[in-house]
Amino acid sequence: QADISQDEKVKPGSYPGVVCCCRKKCLLLNDVILIIATLHTGLSRTAKSFEMILVGRFLEGIGAGRTSHYSLSV
């Protein structure tokens, strides 16, 4: 495991690297993924494209899977 200072508390099941440096950036990236997914799903009717719904749902699944790992360690 990575070296962690005594000030930072690592909760069970969390990754020390995420606690140290990357939590905020990962959550912001996840927000961008979810915004893109929402736009794909919402604009699919305007574009009359069923494939946009599939892409949007796929990206929503990725965003939902990433969110749970980081929110549990807060």
Question: Could you read off the pLDDT of 35-70 as tens digits, one per residue?
Answer: 999 999 999 989 999 999 999 999 998 888 776 554
Determine the average pLDDT of the residues in 13-18.
56
Res. 22: pLDDT tops 70: no
Average pLDDT of the chain?
A: 74
Whole-number Cα distances in Å, 63 to 7, 8, 71: 30, 26, 12
Angle at 67 between CA 37 and CA 40, to 5 degrees: 0
Tokens found for residue 38: 């929402």
